[in-house]
Amino acid sequence: AKRQGRNTWQWCRGTQAGDTRHSVTLRHDLHNALAEDQFELYYQPVVDAVSGRIRSTEALVRWHHPSRGMVSPGEFIPLAEQTGQIVPLGRWILRRACQDMVRFNADRERELPVAVNISSLQFHRDGFLADVRQILAETGMPARLLEFEVTESVLLDGTGPVIELMETLKDMGIRVALDDFGTGFSSLSYLRDLPTHKVKLDRSFIKDIQTDRRIAAIVQGVITMAHHMDMCVVAEGIETPEHQDDLARRLCDLLQGYYFARPMPLNALQALSDRLPHH
């Protein structure tokens, strides 16, 4: 009944505002997309802030829509969350990321970890842990090479014992990083209680870091604070050498952004990492 209420509301919005007809169609297309094998995972390198050497990757899903071409996850992930499609899609993403990385790491001296974004519905679903265990077993992916990225809202959404779940994952060897850090409101106070090792500074901070002294102060504050709590900091959205210099000077640990590399298919990552020094 709850579900029906939700759909009705969405439908009303869709019929009232013309511009959401687009998303009604997309939502419909999303239903077949998994079965039709229209998704692909891209990988974006995360590099050491000083040396620029690749340290890990983030898996980012892509949808090759048969008529619209590439649809951005910023557009379809929220739809998949609304319809519940994110559960099977999220499972597919995790499985594919593990399969890809096992293959990728097979002939590497130094194995590369992968970060997978986990959405709220997925994280809070009862079967989540069982799915994760099953996928690790089935793919042979070592848990220590897997990291989950969750946003603050994912953690706040839950009625369940979020910290317990994070502890369980940690015991299994899977680390959980806090994504889009700084965009929410309660970040600073509740960081204290979270069993996390890493925060990812949202891209919106980096964009203005050189022109806005308050932003620069927040960034510096987060980095210093995180280090005092033995956490490491990743800055997203590094687009220029100035961004890199600035963040490296502030002792940010890891960087990710178009300046180093865009998200790319697995074979391109393979080609790139063959050319780059990795230790």
Stretch that binds ligand C2E, among 6-14, 155-163, 222-230, 252-260 (CB under 6 A): 252-260
Partner touching 72 among Ca ion, ligand C2E, none, CB below 5 to 8 Å by kind: ligand C2E
Q: Are 179 and 200 in contact (CB under 8 A)?
A: yes
Q: Could you tell me the smallest distance in angstroms from the CB atom of residue 15 to ligand C2E?
A: 27
Q: Is 147 in the site for ligand C2E (CB under 6 A)?
A: no
d(CA 190, CA 240): 32
Considering only residues 179-218, where is the footprint of ligand C2E by CB under 6 A? Answer: 179-180, 203
List the one residue from 83, 117, 119, 273 that touches Ca ion (CB under 5 A): 117
- What is the token pair recorded at 221? 């504050």
Q: Which is nearer to ligand C2E, 8 or 240 (CB)?
A: 240
Stretch that binds ligand C2E, among 14-22, 128-136, 158-166, 254-262 (CB under 6 A): 254-262
* Length, in residues, of the chain: 279
Q: Which of 202, 258, 268, 264 is nearest to 233 (CA)?
A: 202
d(CA 193, CA 191): 5
- What is the token pair recorded at 272? 């790139």
Q: Is 180 in the site for Ca ion (CB under 5 A)?
A: yes
Q: Could you tell me the smallest distance in angstroms from the CB atom of residue 77 to Ca ion?
A: 11
List the one residue from 93, 146, 191, 252 that touches ligand C2E (CB under 6 A): 93
Q: Which is nearer to Ca ion, 149 or 246 (CB)?
A: 149
Identify the burial level of 57 via C-beta atoms within 10 angstroms of its C-beta, where 0-12 means exposed, 13-18 middle and 19 or more buried: buried
Q: Could you tell me the end-to-end alpha-carbon distance of the chain, in angstroms, rounded to an integer?
A: 55
- What is the token pair recorded at 94? 């995790």
d(CA 203, CA 75): 18
List the one residue from 149, 152, 246, 253 that touches Ca ion (CB under 5 A): 149
Q: Which of 87, 92, 103, 99 is nearest to 63 (CA)?
A: 92
Stretch that binds ligand C2E, among 11-19, 124-132, 234-242, 245-253 (CB under 6 A): 234-242
Q: Could you tell me the smallest distance in angstroms from the CB atom of residue 80 to ligand C2E?
A: 8
Among all residues, whose Cβ is closest to ligand C2E? 257
List the one residue from 239, 264, 268, 272 that touches ligand C2E (CB under 6 A): 239
Considering only residues 18-77, where is the footprint of ligand C2E by CB under 6 A? Answer: 44, 59-61, 72-74, 77
Which residues lie closer than 8 Å to 150 by C-beta, 6 or more apart?
Answer: 117, 118, 123, 176, 177, 178, 179
- What is the token pair recorded at 69? 């071409």
Among all residues, whose Cβ is closest to Ca ion? 149
Q: What does the DSSP assignment read for 167-196?
A: HHHHHHT-EEEEEEETSSSSHHHHHTT---
Binding site for ligand C2E (CB under 6 A): 44, 59-61, 72-74, 77, 93, 117-119, 149, 179-180, 203, 236-239, 256-258, 263
Binding site for Ca ion (CB under 5 A): 117, 149, 179-180
